[in-house]
Amino acid sequence: MSPLLFLCAALAGGAGAVVRYLVDRGVTRLAGRRFPWGVFVINVTGSFALGVVVGLLPEVLFVVGAGFLGGYTTFSTAMLDTVALWRDGARRAAVGNALGMLFVGFLAAGFGVGLGSLF
Q: How confident is the model at residue 1 (pLDDT cuts 50, 70, 90)?
A: confident
- The per-residue pLDDT for 119 is 86
Q: Is residue 104 a contact partner of residue 44, using CB atoms and an 8 Å limit? A: yes
> Which alpha helices (H) appear in 1-119, and where do they start and end?
3-31, 37-56, 70-72, 75-87, 91-118
Residue 111's CB is within 10 A of a number of other CB atoms, namely 15
What is the rounded average pLDDT for all residues in the chain?
97
Task: Please give the helix or strand (H or E) that residue 2 lies within, else none.
Answer: none
The pTM score is 0.94
